[in-house]
Structure 1
């Protein structure tokens, strides 16, 4: 019988659980969760985008996205504004406070990413490419 603990999916799951736990502890210091950090990063890249654009970029479902943006808005990190050309379209903007926090969280994320890259060494790029290929091919 094959030892399931040697399966790639098992190893990925165990590793992701540890990474998620570590990230949750780190992000808790900033008062945001992982999904909210992705929203902040998306707005750092392009402030004033729509919820749909954020969801597409961060790969967050619309139902979860609305709740997360509501919380960020309550914390005065983002604000919703109607589009100047079409008032039916709502755009999301970082506040000054949100922009500062987003940069701090991004810096922390970059440090952790560097830690991971250092541990993976030369294999890191191939691993990321391979995982992206798999993710794109599975529904």
Structure 2
């Protein structure tokens, strides 16, 4: 029987979880209360004006309930505001506040440092191969209709 650490998808998940835990610890160690998920959602809103909550969920791999909960916390923290959609009152537009933009800017150096630490001793060629392989895995899974 194969061992867990010989299964590529186990190792991918382990790497992702290890990185997220490390990145969250670094934010906390530098006095920030923002979470990795909040950071991802603010970035998604900034990069995609007019994005819906469902689209955010797809982009950051979270279900709608989780996205709603995270956005509620960010509204309370005054990183994001909700505005009623001008044409459909059932919809809301999300806008990043100045405070939200500032927190993204303030944590950028930590994020860059986290990536540098995580990718230490990995060559540019290895990164390119890994990225290519991961994109192929995603395409294989997305394009399969079984």
Give the TM-score taking structure 1 as reference length.
0.82
Determine if contact 1:82/1:91 at 8 Å carries over to the other structure: yes
**Counterpart secondary structure, 2:103:** helix
1:1-139 matches, cutoff 5 A: 2-28=2-28, 29-121=31-123, 122-138=125-141
Determine if contact 1:41/1:106 at 8 Å carries over to the other structure: no
Give unpaired runs (5+ residues) of structure 1: none
Change (3 A) 1:50 1:106: farther
Distance 1:58 1:138 in 2: 17
How many residues align structurally?
139
Determine if contact 1:44/1:102 at 8 Å carries over to the other structure: no
Determine if contact 1:49/1:93 at 8 Å carries over to the other structure: no
Q: CA deviation at 1:4?
A: 4.2
Give the TM-score taking structure 2 as reference length.
0.78
Q: Which moved more, 1:76-85 or 1:42-51?
A: 42-51
CA shift digits 1:91-112 (9 cap, x unpaired): 1111110111122234432332
**Counterpart secondary structure, 1:31:** coil
Distance 1:18 1:131 in 2: 17
